[in-house]
Amino acid sequence: MSNNQQIFEDWLDGKITAEQCAMQLQHDPQWYARLQNTLALQADAKAPRFEPVPEFDSSALFAKQWQRPKLQRSWWPQLSLALSCAAMLISLSPAKFQLQDGSLTLSWHNSQSEINRAVGTALLAYQKEQQQWLVQQLDTQQQSTNSQLVLLKDYLQDELKRDQRSDMLQLVEYLNQQRQADWQYWQENYQPMQAGYRPASSYYSPTNTGVVKP
């Protein structure tokens, strides 16, 4: 490579300016002419082009070569799976979401002790409920027994009174019958005998209205 060629290529590579190159090559007509021609070509290359570039729609070409129909992808199955996994994790983990008084709180708890405590509370409540029920039943039973006893007492008293009255009536009737029988026996057996011993006027004479004194 000659020195001039080196100078020329240094200029082409941008290492020196066109003026520096021209100054160094001006004594060699061949290389100086090459420089001038190159400058003319560079000027032409930098000149704006007004030739309109034709419209060419390469979209169809590209679509045919590289575009594939988009997969009809639905996100619902993935969303459903993700929510199911989240629900499972929440239910299995000790984390506990609680919505109370308009605020959502996240708490961690021991599920076994929580269950034991809940079971104990439920059993205690059941025990109390059963005791109250038994007390109520006993009260009801007692009241029922008392009322039945009162009714029985009244019934027995009534029955006793009725029996006593009946006995008294029977007794009175019996006594009346005895007196009637005694009176008849006396009239039949002792009155004629008495009449024989004493004047009739000296004896009391029983009548239907009473006893007539002598």
Partner 1 sequence: MFKRSDESLIAKALNGDQHAWQQLVNRHQSALFYFGLRLLGSREDANDLLQDVLLVLCRNLGQYRGDSSFKSWLFGIANYRAMDMLRRRKYSDNDDELAEMPADAPGMPEQLANDRQQKQVQQQLRSLPLEQRLVLELKFYQQFTFDEIASQLAISSNTVKSRFYAALDKLRLQLEDDHVEQSANF
Residue 102, Ramachandran bin (φ over 0: left; ψ between -120 and 50: alpha; else beta): left
Q: What is the DSSP string of 40-59?
A: HHHHHHHS---SPPPP---H
Asked if 16 interacts with partner 1 (CB under 8 A), we say no
Task: Quote the least distance from Cβ 68 to partner 1, whole Å.
Answer: 6
Contact 21, 3 (CB under 8 A): no
The interface region with partner 1, picked from 53-61, 100-108, 188-196, 201-209 by CB under 8 A, is: 53-61
Asked if 195 interacts with partner 1 (CB under 8 A), we say no
Helix (H, G, I), strand (E, B) or coil at 48: coil
Asked if 34 interacts with partner 1 (CB under 8 A), we say yes
Q: Which is nearer to partner 1, 68 or 213 (CB)?
A: 68
Asked if 66 interacts with partner 1 (CB under 8 A), we say yes
Residue with tokens 């009809």: 72
Asked if 92 interacts with partner 1 (CB under 8 A), we say no
Q: How far, CA to CA in Å, does 200 sit from each of 7, 57, 59, 152, 203?
A: 207, 175, 171, 62, 6
Asked if 14 interacts with partner 1 (CB under 8 A), we say no
Question: What DSSP character marks residue 207?
Answer: -
Q: Which is nearer to partner 1, 10 or 203 (CB)?
A: 10
| Site residues, partner 1 (CB under 8 A) | 30, 33-34, 36-38, 40-45, 47-51, 53-54, 56, 58-59, 61-63, 65-68
